Amino acid sequence: MLWRRFSGEPLHVPVKSAVEEAIIRETTAGYKLKVCIGTDSQVKHTETEFATVIVFLREKHGGFMFISNDKSRQPFTIKERMLLEVAKSIEIAFELCDLFNRYDVDMEVHADINTNPQFKSNEALREAMGYILGMGYAFKAKPDAFASSCCADKMVN
């Protein structure tokens, strides 16, 4: 996956290295960090575009994020697409979790799934929650899942 900053500048090192550099830089500057990972997608004609974000929150001092986009021409049901979003978030969380443990950084996985049963995305809630919690990660769904429903949502072209 290719990663970039919010400014559009590509990360010139693997994402794991960039995350570790960011953690060291921010904690050395005295910030307490929390990281939220989320993915959102948008279907356009025959293509589904995904955006995955790693959001770094500096306690009481704003934040920043790294972004990765990819596309698929495979058709998905709403449930399949929601679970694929969660899988993309878990994949990056799994890749980075040893860093978060080593540097004592709290991490949450955010799912762009509505907790209200009236919304179609809700049919994936149980499986997504089980998947994320089963991996041992903290879980947030809408309306609390800002990494996926706000940050990643803005990064899907």
Per-residue pLDDT at 117: 85
Residue with tokens 């979003």: 85
> Residues 52-66: what's their mean pLDDT?
96
Give the model confidence (pLDDT) of 69-125 as tens digits.
999 999 999 999 999 999 999 999 999 999 999 999 999 999 999 888 888 888 889
- Higher per-residue confidence, 48 vs 124: 48
> Residues 47-51: what's their mean pLDDT?
96
Q: Which of 98, 104, 90 is nearest to 137 (CA)?
A: 90
> Treating both helix axes as pointing N-terminal to C-terminal, what angle do 125-134 and 78-102 enclose, rounded to 10 degrees?
20
Domain with 27, as residue range(s), is 4-155
Per-residue pLDDT at 67: 98
Per-residue pLDDT at 1: 81
Give the model confidence (pLDDT) of 4-34 as tens digits.
999 999 999 999 999 999 999 999 999 999 9
Give the global pTM.
0.93
Per-residue pLDDT at 157: 66
Beta pairing partners, 108: 36, 138
Compute how many other C-beta atoms are within 10 angstroms of the C-beta atom of residue 7.
6
Integer Cα distance of 112 and 152 in angstroms: 9
Q: Which CATH number is 140's domain given?
A: 3.30.420
The count of structural domains within the chain is 1
Per-residue pLDDT at 114: 87
Integer Cα distance of 40 and 33 in angstroms: 23
Per-residue pLDDT at 156: 87
